[in-house]
């Protein structure tokens, strides 16, 4: 996959992840923490598409497994 294809794929996956986070049944604080993690991934995508894609895979896996942010991670 070339950089243009990776960028397009990652862009679509980030868009879907933002929708998924917005639809989470979680407290406002939990959603804020997950949103910050997603924004960090979005920011990282400006510098390293491959690493950002891996981080997005990890976030999606965590959400699939029912992960909730630790309130102590504030």
Q: CA nearest 41: which of 28, 56, 29?
A: 56
Q: Looking at the 3D structure of the chain, how many domains does it have? A: 1
In contact, 10 and 55? CB cutoff 8 Å? no
Query: Domain span at residue 39?
Result: 31-64
Do the domain assignments include residue 15?
Answer: no
Instruction: State the DSSP H helix or E strand holding residue 19, giving kind and residue range, or none if neither.
Output: helix 3-22
Do the domain assignments include residue 38?
Answer: yes
In contact, 43 and 4? CB cutoff 8 Å? no
Q: What pLDDT sits at residue 70?
A: 66
Rg of the chain on CA atoms, in Å: 13
pTM: 0.85
- Write out pLDDT tens, residues 2-33: 889 999 999 999 999 999 999 998 889 999 99
- Write out pLDDT tens, residues 47-69: 999 999 999 999 999 999 987 77
Do the domain assignments include residue 70?
Answer: no
């Amino acid at each position: 996959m070339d950089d243009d294809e990776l960028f397009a794929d990652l862009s679509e996956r980030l868009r879907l992840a933002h929708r998924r986070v917005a639809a989470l049944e979680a407290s406002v604080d939990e959603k804020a923490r997950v949103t910050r993690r997603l924004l960090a991934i979005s920011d990282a995508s400006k510098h390293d598409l491959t690493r950002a894609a891996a981080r997005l895979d990890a976030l999606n896996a965590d959400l699939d497994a029912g992960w909730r942010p630790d309130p102590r991670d504030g």
